[in-house]
Amino acid sequence: MPSASKGFRVRMRARAIDEPHRVSSQLELLFDLTFVVAVAVVTARFAHAIADGHGLAGLIPFLQVFFAVWWAWMNFTWFASSYDTDDVPYRLLTMVQMAGVLVLAAGVPAAEGESDFRAVTLGYFIMRIALVAQWLRAGVEDPASRRPALRYAVGISVVQAGWLLRLALVETGVLPPSAQLPSFAALVVLELAVPWWAERAGTTNWHPHHIAERYGLFTIILLGESVLAVSRGVEGVLAGAEVSGPLVVIALSGLVLLFALWWLYFLSPAGEGLSARRHRSYLWGYGHYGIFAALAALGAGLEVAVEQTGHHLPVSPVAICYAVAIPTGVFLLLLWVVHAFIVDGPVILPGVVLGGVTAILLLPPAAPWIGVAAVVAAIAAVCVLMIAVTVSGRPRRPGREG
């Protein structure tokens, strides 16, 4: 692996797609820590919106801010998979991107609470400009990848100019509120189109097993954020009340639910599928936006479910349960879909997924009669049952005990 210990600067070349024992670097793990902060803030703000009875109103700002977080992380991840030199310039530009994440995180409360995207846009700008510098360096130093690298740099720069223009139009009142969401959606489409356009000039050498590991690590980060969200809820309840039965049930059920979702996500390693079907990587990678957003939203829902055991909240029990059930259902459906793009057979049988999701979405209306804790426990039980059915129905691999 290239290292800064070999010199101040290492010539940037595309790394081999079959490089043995390729794993996440220490710098990538440090980079992920800044996203822990960003996701924690996004989740906490969405939890406040749900607790105040404004979950639907807070959903769009949540998805908008989360897109900025996810897209910046994803772009860095795929670039690093192709061109990580780990020299001093690479490290410093990565640090700049980390600083941008922290600025974005600081702007989340204003963005989700007041639709003020100035700080979020500034943080996103810092991250994207640093990535443009990385792509320009790749284009200059690696002639074989020059065309796609320069296309990436140009595409990212043009779309970033669009974000700055949008912010200016919003701040000056030129862009009416009715046009703000459509303009955001249009820029998102352009962002998603940049990799497709850039790689029409030549494909980059991303490593399939490295990418699968990076996505798995981000999944674990989001599951960890949900654990943190539940912990925040428990802390808030204990600050003004004694431990109650519903509190214990929701806390334990939340842990079981998150463990079950982790189990389901890692049932089938994605590295082999990505290696065999590189042309479907866009569908697999982009589909993870919904998976990641669902996990973040689930953390917010679980936090509110815990909080309601000790405080009166201006939101109905049914709404709280849907804040847990819907993200869980979305996660399960999208997990099934994205894996279908890269594996020979379904990891989870369609009937199991559809049956499980249907059962989960039918549970929240029962909250007024059986309570929020019982509904959350039932949702966790459905996911555990899905694991049991899936694992028992899978053929045993030679040399494995289960």
Does residue 65 sit in the same domain as residue 193? yes
Residue 401 is predicted with a pLDDT of: 40
Is residue 15 in a domain?
A: no
Is residue 331 in a domain?
A: yes
Does residue 131 sit in the same domain as residue 226? no
Question: Number of C-alpha atoms within 13 angstroms, CB side, residue 320?
Answer: 27
Note whether 26 and 154 are within 8 A (CB): no
Does residue 186 sit in the same domain as residue 268? no
Is residue 276 in a domain?
A: yes
Reported confidence tier of residue 397, pLDDT bands at 50, 70, 90: low
Mean pLDDT of 287-304: 95
Which single residue is written with the structure tokens 């589909």? 287
**Cα–chain center distance at 232:** 20
Reported confidence tier of residue 1, pLDDT bands at 50, 70, 90: very low
Residue 229: CB atoms within 10 Å: 27
End position of a domain, from candidates 143, 174, 201: 201
Q: Please give the structure tokens belonging to residue 163.
A: 């974000």
Does residue 224 sit in the same domain as residue 162? no
Handedness of CA 84, 85, 87, 88 (dihedral sign): negative
Question: Number of C-alpha atoms within 13 angstroms, CB side, residue 110?
Answer: 12
Residue 268 is predicted with a pLDDT of: 80
pLDDT digits (tens, 9 = 90+) for 62-117: 999 999 999 999 999 999 999 999 899 999 999 999 999 999 989 988 887 777 88
End position of a domain, from candidates 161, 180, 201: 201
Does residue 134 sit in the same domain as residue 212? no
Does residue 35 sit in the same domain as residue 113? yes
Nearest Cα to 228, choosing from 308, 299, 305?
299
Is residue 272 in a domain?
A: yes
Average pLDDT of every residue of the chain: 89
Phi, psi of 153 (to 5 degrees): -60, -45
DSSP letter for each residue of 184-253: HHHHHHHHHHHHHHHGGG------HHHHHHHHHHHHHHHHHHHHHHHHHHHHHHHTTS---HHHHHHHHH
Q: Please give the structure tokens belonging to residue 10.
A: 């290492």
Does residue 215 sit in the same domain as residue 157? no
DSSP letter for each residue of 123-150: HHHHHHHHHHHHHHHHHHH-GGGHHHHH
Note whether 355 and 380 are within 8 A (CB): no
Q: Please give the structure tokens belonging to residue 270.
A: 């994605």
Rounded to whole angstroms, the Cα distance separating 295 from 330 reads 9
Does residue 92 sit in the same domain as residue 29? yes
Is residue 141 in a domain?
A: yes
Percentage of the chain modeled with pLDDT above 70: 94
Least trusted range by pLDDT, from 28-32, 125-129, 258-262, 346-350: 346-350
Does residue 195 sit in the same domain as residue 120? yes
Note whether 289 and 69 are within 8 A (CB): no
**The domain containing residue 368 runs over which residues?**
208-393
pLDDT at residue 311 greater than cutoff 80: no
Note whether 93 and 28 are within 8 A (CB): no
Does residue 184 sit in the same domain as residue 78? yes
Reported confidence tier of residue 399, pLDDT bands at 50, 70, 90: very low
Is residue 18 in a domain?
A: no
Rounded to whole angstroms, the Cα distance separating 70 from 62 reads 12
Residue 53, Ramachandran bin (φ over 0: left; ψ between -120 and 50: alpha; else beta):
left
pLDDT digits (tens, 9 = 90+) for 232-290: 777 766 666 566 788 889 989 999 999 999 999 998 888 888 988 888 888 999 999 99
Does residue 268 sit in the same domain as residue 381? yes
Does residue 33 sit in the same domain as residue 128? yes
Residue 2 is predicted with a pLDDT of: 45
pLDDT at residue 379 greater than cutoff 90: yes
Amino acid letter, residue 361 = L
Handedness of CA 312, 315, 317, 322 (dihedral sign): negative
Tell me which H or E stretch contains 161.
helix 146-171
pLDDT digits (tens, 9 = 90+) for 320-371: 999 999 999 999 999 999 988 888 777 788 899 999 999 999 999 999 999 9
End position of a domain, from candidates 201, 219, 241: 201
Rounded to whole angstroms, the Cα distance separating 8 from 140 reads 18
Residue 231: CB atoms within 10 Å: 14
DSSP letter for each residue of 14-64: PPPTT-TT----HHHHHHHHHHHHHHHHHHHHHHHHHHTT-HHHHHHHHHH
pLDDT digits (tens, 9 = 90+) for 203-214: 899 999 999 999
Angle at CA of residue 180, ends 50 and 127, nearest 5°: 80
Is residue 261 in a domain?
A: yes
Rounded to whole angstroms, the Cα distance separating 4 from 9 reads 7
Is residue 17 in a domain?
A: no
Looking at the structure of the chain, the number of domains it has is 2
| 185 compared with 241, residue with greater pLDDT | 185
Residue 116 is predicted with a pLDDT of: 85
